[in-house]
Chain A
Amino acid sequence: MRDGRRATIWMLATVLTVLAGDRLGDALLNAILVRSQFRFSRLYRGWEKASIVTLGDSRGVNCFYAPRIEQITGQSVLNLSYNGLSSRIGEVVLRDYLERNRAPRLVMLEVTYADAPMDLVSELRTYSNLSPGMRALYTEAHPLAAKAGRVFRLIAYDSEMFLRAVSYLRRSDQDWISRTTISPELLASDRAMRKLRINTANLDAFERSVRLLRERGIQVCLIVSPYQDPSLITNIDEFIRLIEQRARRVDPLLRVHDYARSGGPPENFSDGVHLNARGAEALLQQMQRDALFTPGTSPQAEAVDLIEKPEL
């Protein structure tokens, strides 16, 4: 009995130590998180004043090269794209951004993010304490883990996102871009035909995102960035048509700028679906020629002006 009592006391002491350390660690790591220069830390810290905000999944990360867009436009840019970020998650990101920061002039969406699955949701736990929207998505996907996260706060920091936040504690993450070139082996082997997933929940979220932006008078630019070999994506045209349809429900003047087939040589890609620095440069130059960054030049921007003028 004596041994049993001693073991129970030891275990209780261990549990209390774990919980105390957990809360202390939470306070410490949260302070690190909100001080980071990582894109989502900047979003949730608030007070950002970017004129142009870009959003997408990993294809958005690689095509919206913020420093170059800043150079082209002379305006501040924040790229909120992230690997695997779907339009459902993107909706929460945009909503949170607008709640905490100054509204941008232009939001550019790489619309194939409506194809991304919800895998990134498990990473969102890192910011779930800072955003009810993120928490709701995380709880929906991982109810048990979300409950465990309420007991053990450290679980929230068990993510690649937090590691990135630590990595970008003293420097911005906006200048990252892939600088590798697709290997000849991959170019030869990666020939499988694929389809973009058409997911109603993602399409709905995309539509709500566009509505949210347009209701606030924010110019919206929709693009599809290049694929190395677009002929491998069997339903690209159908996907773009669906996206455009949804966008036009909100604003009939919106259209998708389709650069899927404008990728140029394989040297512009790091793999079959992602541009590298060279490819991004080529795309951004093309977008500049198409006047996508210029305020008031796209038909839709003019429409915004028309809407806003009577109010003035």
Chain B
Amino acid sequence: MLFNSWAFLIFLPVFAACYWATGGVARLWVMLIGSLIFYAWWDWRFVFLVLFSALVDYSIGILLENETDDHRRHRLIVMSVAVNLGLLGFFKYFNFFVTSAGELLSALGLRVQSNTLAIVLPVGISFYVFKTMSYTIDVYRRTEPAERSLLKFTTFVVFFPELVAGPIVRASRMLPQMKHDHKFSYERTLSATTLILSGYVRKVVIADSLAPLVDVRFANPAAHSALSLLLGVYLYAFQIYCDFSGYSNIAIGLARFFGFDFGINFDRPYFSRSFSEFWTRWHISLSSWLRDYLYIPLGGNRGSTFAVYRNLMLTMLLGGLWHGANWTFVAWGGLHGFYLMMQRLLGPRYERLRSLLRIPSILSDAFLVVLVFHLTCLSWVFFRAPTFGHAWQVLRQIGGMRDLSFAGVDQKMLVLKCVMLIAVLIAFEIMTFQPRRRKAVLATDEGEKVIVSAQVPEVSPILRLAFAASCIWTVLLFGTFSGNSFIYFQF
């Protein structure tokens, strides 16, 4: 079920009514059954796969906690990781690896027949596999206790707001919040509603308006001028940002409405002054996952310069591969790994140069924001292009600078509309940026300290009403109602 579908608009109030009408174990059952219906709406057969993944990690979690022998514990965690990565590898990467191996052997002059399988990629598998895998790793590290209730654990795994496209909410954040019932809160409802509506504006108004303009440019780059393609790349940068941050806002808002705090997943990433900062602002739940479960275990910042560069590159290459079974995603990850390496290499020199030339920090920051944004856009070309051939063609045409006139841009009216929407988004992000609030912490019902979402400022109910109404008018006036799925569903 898509958040931007009519089915969901019917599902949500029914689910909410059942959720708030119940309590205790009954509420957990409502959450579980509702989430399974939400998932089964896409394909009921894959419900069993999610449940299997949950059952395996639930059992291994308990065994890990009970086990004292290190060798056995090690075997258990290897089993959990193998099952999770096995599921992911089979459903997501089997055909990719078979095809790639076939191509490699063909390049070496060996004639082989690549037998691929007609495998359907289960929606959200990359997200729930990472979620359950981090749980067993935390239990293995003894940083988290094992969850004894199968109902609670399964509900945590399948909780519908973040089941299919994240954010990747870890057990350490979610399970403690499931210890007792949440009370319906007026304040929470208001902030959740505004967050959800802002997510819909990002998705239905901005991302879906940009999508057709981006699609035509990347489908046939030869048919477009340099300026048209350059605009296409910029538009894609905002399409993917609004698509995924919109989904995240809706997911976080829904969770907040039901009493859960997920934290934030995007924090104005295109205002980053460095790539390390970018990765603390973009898809935060994934980047922190990769940091904690891949980069640091690989050695992190410890060791020789070469080791650090190797760790960075490996993490980003695998992060790229996580996004999809295509070498273009690996290239995207590789580019970001390269950027991070260059940042480590050149960053201190740039700082020395800046202080030597006494460049005001505001100018330097502006330069860095523009630089990081453009290098990110360059990496998006590989992320978006279906093949390397398309990516090269886009870059070659832009680099060739043939026809930089606005007259050569297709669908000018829609392009202007989208540029205007992006300008409004940037203005909104600047207006609502509250540096002090970004660092603020809030005591939740459970007493846990959680960074509050900076997406919706704290305002009076009247202002919230005005904001909500404006969001709805914006959706009515500029929304795209073609039922486009979210980009991150494919990952």
A residues neighboring B (CB under 8 Å)? 2-4, 6-7, 10-11, 13-14, 17-18, 21-22, 25, 144-145, 152, 154-155, 157-158, 160, 163-164, 167, 179-180, 183, 185-186, 188-190, 271
Contact = CB atoms under 8 A, between A and B. Distances in A.
A179 B413 contact: no
Interface of A (DSSP majority class): helix
A163 B413 contact: yes
A122 B184 CA distance: 41
A101 to B, nearest CB: 25
B481 A21 contact: no
Contacts of A155: 476
B473 A21 contact: yes
Contact of A186 (B222, B407, B477): B222
Contacts of A158: 476-479
A179 B407 contact: yes
Given A17-B465, A179-B407, A190 B414 contact: no
Nearest to B417: A163
B133 to A, nearest CB: 38
Given A18-B469, A144-B6, A186-B223, A7 B184 contact: yes
Interface residues of B, number: 35
Contacts of A4: 20, 184, 186
21 contacts: A3-B183, A10-B190, A10-B461, A10-B464, A10-B465, A14-B468, A18-B469, A18-B473, A21-B473, A152-B476, A154-B476, A154-B477, A158-B479, A160-B413, A163-B413, A163-B416, A183-B403, A185-B223, A185-B397, A188-B222, A190-B222
Given A6-B186, A7-B186, A14-B465, 17 more contacts: A3-B183, A4-B184, A7-B184, A10-B464, A11-B193, A17-B466, A22-B473, A22-B476, A144-B6, A145-B481, A154-B476, A158-B478, A160-B414, A163-B413, A180-B225, A180-B403, A180-B408
Interface centre among B223, B413, B476 (most CB of A within 10 A): B476
Interface centre among A10, A22, A25 (most CB of B within 10 A): A10
A189 B222 contact: yes
Nearest to A13: B465
Contacts of A188: 222
A271 B481 CA distance: 30
B22 interface: no
B222 A3 contact: no
Nearest to B466: A17
A54 B133 CA distance: 65
A303 B481 CA distance: 49
A144 B482 CA distance: 12
Nearest to A154: B476
Contact of B469 (A21, A144, A190): A21
Interface string B393-424: 00001000011000110000110110000000
A189 B45 CA distance: 43
Interface centre among A2, A17, A25, A157 (most CB of B within 10 A): A17
A230 to B, nearest CB: 19
Nearest to B393: A185
A238 B413 CA distance: 36
B472 interface: yes
Contacts of B402: 183
Nearest to B189: A7
A164 B413 contact: yes
